[in-house]
Amino acid sequence: MIECKKLSFSYLAGGGKKKYETIKNVSCRIKEGSFVLLCGVSGCGKTTLTRIFNGLIPHYHEGKLEGDAYIEGKNTKRLSLFDISLKVGSVFQNPRSQFFNVDTTSEVAFGPENHGMSESKIKQRVQQVCSQLDIEDLMDRSIFSLSGGEKQKIACGSAAAIDPDIYVLDEPSSNLDSCAVSDLRRLLEILKSCGKTVIISEHRLYYLADLIDRVIYMKDGKIEGDYTAQEFKAMPESQREVMGLRPLDLDVLKDTEHGIKAEAFSRWVISDMTFSYKYRPGILQIGKSILPAGKVTAVIGDNGAGKSTFSRCLCGLEKRCRGTVEYDGHVYSAKERLNICYMVMQDVNHQLFTENVEEEILLSMKNKNKKQIERLLEDMDLTELSECHPMGLSGGQKQRVAIASAIASEKPLIIFDEPTSGLDLFHMRKVANVVNEIADQGRTVLVVTHDPEFILRCCDHVIHLSAGRVYESYPLRDRRDRIRLLDFFMLK
């Protein structure tokens, strides 16, 4: 059982002078064996609460903690992280940074090793966990060869190897495609059936609908709602929407429409694009594909279908990519494409270089124009931040800076790589609006995404990749097209 009594926590920033409170006066009690969903918009304090449950607060993240949290009757302040790790297993959001070993078997054995279990017992335990969670086929593999979904499965396995009673997951599905989400769901189902307590903080709700026992809704650091599964499911979709939550059932998205853009005046023609990977099998082979200019095209497909590779080839980032791209009567080589494409990356930290926001935008501009910058800053809601260091901003603000730089570059093709992974409803819609505006300015946009709701809010055309080829390609015009799209995202 977990119990919180009047918990408040503030992170210290700016050398301990500034502090910002993330949770305020939170009290709750979580029963053994229950499956609890923590939800709420970004910055509502979900992540902080999960960190309190797994002991990272107060033992790792610095800040001021008031009130007490108890795990099985013991105050977490008096337990060490080592003690807590026996009781609570954690899975984090970013699959790139939660593995300590480079091979899967050692990773699962890592926890038991740290706890000094004997060798024979560890081997037995690893076997047991693998068969229990159905991840035997992933053993003895390099972590770097796994897809995002497989990585999250190993992360669960690694947590389960210590055999804790409580599992805390912080947005585990953020980087996963629909297939991997189904896998994750199955795994959570197994944990639930073993009688474990599961606490999961998440934006995507649809895959959890049948698992949850209780929903805790947070807002501005406080618990604003505490529902049983029945109550939460009985809520009308519109109420969840007001709360800033993603839909519980993807079916409701069938009627999502967005403004119709001007008819395409020309198009991008991609022909005979081929690319073979250096380090892994499989090739990308796009015979012929068309992007309508001035519109938004979504690229969908499972992890490993070649979506990212396709976008990288299109940008001209892959030198060994063959094939041509034709636009406006001009055929562009890979090298030339670097000058006409701009990619907003999934991790925008990689593309913010300068000391302040204004300079960041200036860096992209060919013809420096003060007025234009001001207008752009205003459009992107960045005017007040123009003097700030881009790296000091929040995730959403950073993304807006990166998008502003993309717009400033005046390149005709803008590519977004997973722009909404881990965003709540409001922020996702904001990004969708921005994407629509970019297209309205006559630019062509390509979006690589796993987010069906986002696609329905801004995309006009869908390219579905599978195993490196175009599986199908269709416009999104009416309800039938939307159902076709949603079918791909449904739980399998």
Partner 1 sequence: MAKELLASCRDGSSIILDPRTKLAVLITISIFILGGSYEGIMQYYIIILAFIPLILLLSSGKRKASVIYIVIFGGSLCLELFILSMLPSPVNYIAVTITGILLRFAPGIVMGYLLVTDTTVSEFMDAMDKLHMPRFITMPMSVMFRFFPTVAEEWSCIGDAMKMRGIGLGYRRAGHILEYRLVPMMICSVRIGEELSAAALTRGLGGPIKRTNVCDIGFHIQDIFILFVCAGAYVAQIYVLITRG
Residue 94 found at the interface with partner 1 (CB under 8 A): yes
Do residues 449 and 419 make contact, with C-beta atoms less than 8 angstroms apart?
A: yes
Q: What character string, x for contact with partner 1 (CB under 8 A) and - otherwise, covers 265-284?
A: -------------xxx----
Q: What character string, x for contact with partner 1 (CB under 8 A) and - otherwise, covers 323-352?
A: ---------------xx-xxx-x-x-xxxx
Which of 1, 28, 86, 362 binds partner 1 (CB under 8 A)? It is 86
Residue 59 found at the interface with partner 1 (CB under 8 A): yes
Q: How far is the CB of 429 from partner 1 (least distance, A)?
A: 26
Do residues 352 and 404 make contact, with C-beta atoms less than 8 angstroms apart?
A: no
Residue 81 found at the interface with partner 1 (CB under 8 A): yes
Nearer to partner 1, 83 or 237 (CB): 83
Residue 394 found at the interface with partner 1 (CB under 8 A): no
Q: How far is the CB of 245 from partner 1 (least distance, A)?
A: 26
Pairwise CA distance, residues 231 & 228, whole Å: 5
- Report the 10 Å Cβ neighbour count for 333: 11
Residue 148 found at the interface with partner 1 (CB under 8 A): no
Residue 409 found at the interface with partner 1 (CB under 8 A): yes
Which of 101, 308, 324, 383 binds partner 1 (CB under 8 A)? It is 101
Interface stretch with partner 1, choices 49-57, 249-257, 289-297, 476-484 (CB under 8 A): 49-57
Burial of 12 (0-12, 13-18, 19+ CB in 10 A): middle
Pairwise CA distance, residues 299 & 198, whole Å: 33
Nearer to partner 1, 233 or 389 (CB): 389
Residue 30 found at the interface with partner 1 (CB under 8 A): no
Q: Which amino acid is at 106?
A: S
Cis before residue 58, ω within 30 degrees of 0? yes
Unique residue bearing structure tokens 């082979």: 285
Which of 99, 207, 275, 454 binds partner 1 (CB under 8 A)? It is 99
Interface with partner 1 (CB under 8 A), residue total 74
Nearer to partner 1, 86 or 467 (CB): 86
Do residues 192 and 169 make contact, with C-beta atoms less than 8 angstroms apart?
A: no
Do residues 482 and 453 make contact, with C-beta atoms less than 8 angstroms apart?
A: no
Q: How far is the CB of 382 from partner 1 (least distance, A)?
A: 18
Residue 62 found at the interface with partner 1 (CB under 8 A): no
- Reading across the β-sheet that carries 341-344, which strands appear in turn? 341-344, 413-417, 444-448, 296-300, 461-466, 469-475
Do residues 198 and 22 make contact, with C-beta atoms less than 8 angstroms apart?
A: no
